[in-house]
């Protein structure tokens, strides 16, 4: 019995030891390979950090190991065996030694891995990882408990059975021993012991088989975890590859952007140098001839004096043009290039441009003509100021670069849907090389510096023109050939032109024929108050007004302007907005509150769009910028006074009553005003509308929305009948706001109607 028990015990013990040794070796090897695989991943990711000596990036890479609770320490070494980055509990900074297996156990509590970082064929450094074996220890403890339990149970069964049936017990134990040997040698956990024993020995066999089941399950779980880890490594490797490609592409884009920025910087430098020259040229003329005129001892003939003054004026106008171009470019670059859409006549704008620039063309011996290739709508929805600026730039540019021949403007409507207005400006000038056709639209580049020096200019006009065309819903293109001239083709959106009358090539009314009066004659007998704190400005404007036949009164600030208005009752006020004591904004509001409805034109050095709106909101009826353009000043005053005699008086309420200068945007009825009966109908409507507007403002102040809706409905019907479609649309919006009970919206819409009404002009006779 002792021999049987001893043999059984020895066999079982050997089997357990062999199994334990194999399991320990397998788990330790798996632990080492797992840590080695992780070191390979870190080494793959650490290449850029070691190459660039990027400490922060190396620390971030090692910090990703903190998700593994068994990790204790990590380091990145360079080729010079210096530490680039560390993480975890740092025991020592002794340079690591690489093991043949790739990993090495320190005792049984820790395992370390040393892996080289290689990019291509170049070795950049070393990755060092150290982890504890706490997870292995837990598995070993569990395994020991199982083996101990099985061993004890088996020995108990062996002893009990050996005492009674020694032979019957020995055979099954030998079978168990052989099975254990096979499992230990082959690591084949699918082997099971045949259940051919009785009683306690059968229990031992079942326990042995159950132990094998658990071991096999554990082995399968380990294999599955290893496979999943490999899949994650593959997926992460692919992600890293994509990230590397993305960063490489970003690097290329960054380098490209850098080159573009450097090119733009060089272009701006060249532009500033050119601009400095362009500004200094007229300044030299102004300063030089002014110095000559100031010298009282110089003997200057009247003809020379007039020539000098003309040169000074021309130089000043050139400076103003330069400043306006710079302001437009700054708005474009700042993203504040704003436009408005109002009703305007494209043919009248073209005629105005032709009229203004025809004198300049004649001075060079050029013919300036225009034609309508197709019928045009009588009016479109666009920004007339910007459209005029676009055409002035294109035609002025054509005149500048054309030595002989002609400039032709051709306007038409396109065939595509929706239809657009197309304007071509063709010249017989020097032409543009093919490779420079797009460069000329760059605000900081020019086609040829030598050409610029020959013809002058800053090269901003075409850049601004393209931006205007795009903002108006179209585009600006050029077709040119060196020596054969150029064709600039601009298209703009017209809005809905359904129902608009079409006009052909017959003469259309222009601003001069609408008012049919020159400024000098129209200012005779008029009393105009000039309010400005600058003595030079007052003297200049006084001189211009006196020569135009007007009586010019002056005031130094807004407070004096209020007293002068009450005492002298001027026909019109020119108001500077920036003054001491009381500025122009406060003075204008005070005059409106006191019931003065005379025209007040803001005359200020502020030229931004927001400043114009601020002046109009304060109650001004017009807006002009300094320095003073005498012809424009006289024309604006004359038109303002002419319109005042026939337009509706402004509402006495305080607030923005005008959104647009009436002098440049008068509204006429679409009814035939050459017919006395139709004109009488319009006069009657205007008189009734004046009474209704006063009542509208009254009921709006009292929030009587129902009555306000009724009045708006009346205006919507009669306004359209009288030939004022703008009133129809505005009254419709007011009616909607009144029915909704929106007080703020009602106030805004009513101000809009008052603004439209203030621009209505009714001809006094059939001849206008």
> pLDDT (tens digit, 9 = 90+) per residue, 167-190?
666 677 777 788 888 887 887 777
Q: Are strands 122-132 and 110-119 parallel, antiparallel or unpaired?
A: antiparallel
Residue 430 has what pLDDT? 84
| Tens digit of each residue's pLDDT (9 = 90 or more) over 572-604 | 999 988 888 899 999 999 998 888 889 999 987
Q: Residue 529 belongs to what H/E stretch?
A: strand 527-531
Structure tokens, 131: 């982890």
Q: pTM of the prediction?
A: 0.38
Which residue's structure tokens are 């005629």? Answer: 351
Long-range own/partner contacts, residues 482-486 (CB < 8 A, 24 or more apart): 482/430, 482/431, 482/432, 482/433, 483/430, 483/431, 484/428, 484/431, 485/402, 485/405, 485/426, 485/427, 485/428, 485/429, 485/430, 485/431, 486/398, 486/401, 486/426, 486/427, 486/429, 486/431, 486/432
Short-list 108, 67, 107, CA closest to 87: 67
Q: How far, in Å, CA of 330 to CA of 179, rounded?
A: 91
Q: What distances in angstroms separate CA 276 from CA 284, 325, 327, 462, 637, one per listed residue?
A: 12, 14, 16, 19, 35
Q: How far, in Å, CA of 756 to CA of 752, rounded?
A: 6
Please say whether the beta carbons of 150 and 9 come within 8 A.
no
Short-list 765, 617, 561, 587, CA closest to 679: 765
What phi and psi, each to the nearest 5 degrees, are found at residue 480?
Answer: -150, 160
Residues of the chain with pLDDT below 50 are 449-453, 505-521, 646-664, 766-768
Alpha-carbon Rg of the chain, whole angstroms? Answer: 47
Please say whether the beta carbons of 407 and 399 come within 8 A.
yes
Q: Residue 583, exposed/middle/buried by CB under 10 A (0-12, 13-18, 19+)? A: middle
What residue ranges define each of the domains in the chain, with the CATH number in brackets?
2-133 (3.30.450), 343-508 (3.30.565.10), 514-646 (3.40.50.2300), 676-758 (1.20.120.160)
Q: Residue 435, exposed/middle/buried by CB under 10 A (0-12, 13-18, 19+)? A: exposed
| Tens digit of each residue's pLDDT (9 = 90 or more) over 349-398 | 888 788 767 767 887 888 888 888 888 888 888 888 788 888 888 998 88
Q: What distances in angstroms separate CA 376 from CA 112, 501, 723, one per listed residue?
A: 87, 8, 20
Q: Within 10 Å of residue 485's Cβ, how many Cβ atoms?
A: 22
Which residue's structure tokens are 């030891």? Answer: 17
Q: What is the DSSP string of 6-20?
A: HHHHHHHHHHHHHHH
Residue 455 has what pLDDT? 55
Short-list 28, 32, 132, 117, CA closest to 73: 132
Q: If DSSP codes are grouped into helix, strand and coil, which group holds residue 531?
A: strand
Question: C-alpha dihedral over 691, 696, 702, 706, to 10 degrees?
Answer: 120
Question: For residue 442, what are the contacts with CB-CB under 8 A and spacing of at least 6?
Answer: 267, 463
What phi and psi, each to the nearest 5 degrees, are found at residue 159?
Answer: -65, -45
């Amino acid at each position: 019995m002792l021999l049987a028990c001893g043999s059984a015990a020895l066999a079982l013990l050997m089997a357990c030891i062999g199994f334990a040794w194999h399991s320990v070796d397998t788990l330790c090897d798996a632990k080492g390979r797992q840590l080695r695989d992780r070191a390979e991943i870190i080494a793959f990711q650490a290449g850029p950090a070691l190459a660039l000596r990027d400490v922060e990036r190396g620390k971030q890479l090692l910090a990703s190991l903190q998700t593994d609770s068994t990790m204790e320490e990590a380091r990145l070494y360079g080729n010079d065996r210096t530490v680039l980055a560390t993480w975890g509990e740092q025991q020592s900074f002794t340079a690591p030694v690489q093991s043949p297996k790739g990993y090495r156990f320190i005792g049984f509590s820790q395992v370390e891995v040393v892996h080289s970082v290689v990019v291509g064929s170049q070795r950049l450094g070393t990755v060092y990882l150290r982890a504890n074996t706490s997870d292995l220890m837990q598995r070993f403890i569990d395994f020991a408990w199982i083996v101990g339990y099985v061993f004890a149970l088996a020995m108990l069964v062996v002893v009990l059975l050996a005492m009674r049936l020694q032979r019957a017990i020995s055979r099954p134990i030998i079978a168990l021993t052989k099975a254990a040997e096979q499992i230990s040698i082959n690591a084949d956990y699918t082997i099971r012991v045949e259940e051919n024993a009785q009683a306690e020995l059968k229990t031992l066999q079942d326990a042995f088989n159950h132990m094998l089941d658990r071991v096999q399950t554990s082995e399968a779980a380990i294999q599955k975890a290893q496979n999943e880890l490999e899949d994650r490594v593959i997926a992460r490797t692919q992600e890293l590859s994509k990230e590397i490609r993305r960063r490489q592409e970003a690097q290329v884009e960054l380098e490209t952007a850098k080159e573009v920025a450097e090119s733009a910087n060089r272009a701006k430098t060249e532009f500033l140098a050119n601009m400095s020259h362009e500004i200094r040229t007229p300044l030299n003329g102004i300063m030089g001839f002014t110095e000559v005129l100031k010298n009282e001892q110089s003997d200057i003939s009247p003809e020379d004096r007039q020539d000098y003054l003309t040169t000074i004026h021309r130089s000043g106008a050139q400076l103003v043009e330069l400043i306006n171009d710079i302001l437009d470019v700054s708005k474009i670059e700042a993203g504040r290039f704003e436009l408005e859409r109002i009703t305007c006549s494209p043919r009248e704008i073209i005629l105005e441009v032709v009229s203004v620039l025809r004198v300049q063309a004649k001075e060079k011996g050029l013919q300036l003509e225009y034609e309508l290739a197709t019928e045009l709508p009588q009016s479109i929805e666009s920004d007339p100021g910007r459209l005029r600026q676009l055409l002035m730039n294109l035609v002025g540019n054509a005149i500048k670069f054309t030595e002989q021949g002609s400039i032709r403007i051709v306007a038409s409507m396109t065939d595509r849907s929706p239809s657009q207005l197309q304007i071509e400006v063709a010249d017989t000038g020097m032409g543009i090389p093919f490779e420079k056709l797009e460069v000329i639209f760059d605000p900081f580049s020019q086609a040829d510096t030598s050409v610029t020096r020959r013809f002058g200019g800053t090269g901003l006009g075409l850049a601004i023109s393209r931006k205007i065309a795009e903002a108006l819903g179209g585009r600006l293109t050029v077709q040119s050939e060196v020596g054969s001239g150029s064709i600039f083709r601009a298209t703009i959106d017209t809005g809905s032109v359904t129902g608009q009358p079409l006009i052909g090539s017959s003469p259309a009314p222009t601003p001069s024929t609408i008012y049919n009066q020159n400024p000098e004659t129209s200012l005779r007998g008029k009393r105009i108050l000039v309010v400005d704190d600058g003595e030079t400005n007052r003297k200049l404007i006084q001189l211009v007004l006196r020569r135009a036949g007007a009586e010019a009164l002056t005031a130094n600030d807004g407070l004096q302007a209020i007293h002068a208005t009450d005492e002298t009752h001027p026909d019109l006020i020119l108001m500077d907005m920036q003054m001491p004591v009381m500025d122009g904004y406060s003075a204008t509001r005070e005059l409106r509150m006191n019931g003065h409805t005379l025209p007040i034109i803001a005359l200020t050095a502020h030229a931004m769009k927001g400043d114009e709106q601020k002046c109009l909101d304060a109650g001004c009826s017009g807006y002009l910028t300094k320095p003073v353009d005498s012809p424009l000043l006289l024309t604006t005053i004359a038109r303002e006074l002419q319109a005042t005699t026939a337009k509706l008086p402004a509402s006495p309420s305080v607030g923005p009553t005008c959104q647009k200068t009436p002098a440049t945007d008068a509204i006429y009825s679409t009814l035939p005003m050459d017919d006395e009966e139709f004109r009488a109908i319009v006069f009657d409507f205007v008189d009734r509308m004046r009474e209704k507007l006063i009542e509208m403002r009254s009921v709006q102040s009292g929030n009587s929305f129902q009555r306000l809706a009724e009045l708006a409905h009346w205006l919507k019907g009669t306004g359209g009948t009288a030939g004022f479609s703008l009133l129809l649309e505005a009254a419709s919006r007011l009616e909607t706001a009144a029915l909704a009970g929106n007080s703020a919206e009602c106030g805004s819409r009513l101000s809009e109607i008052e603004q439209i009404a203030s621009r209505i002009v009714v001809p006094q006779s059939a001849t206008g």
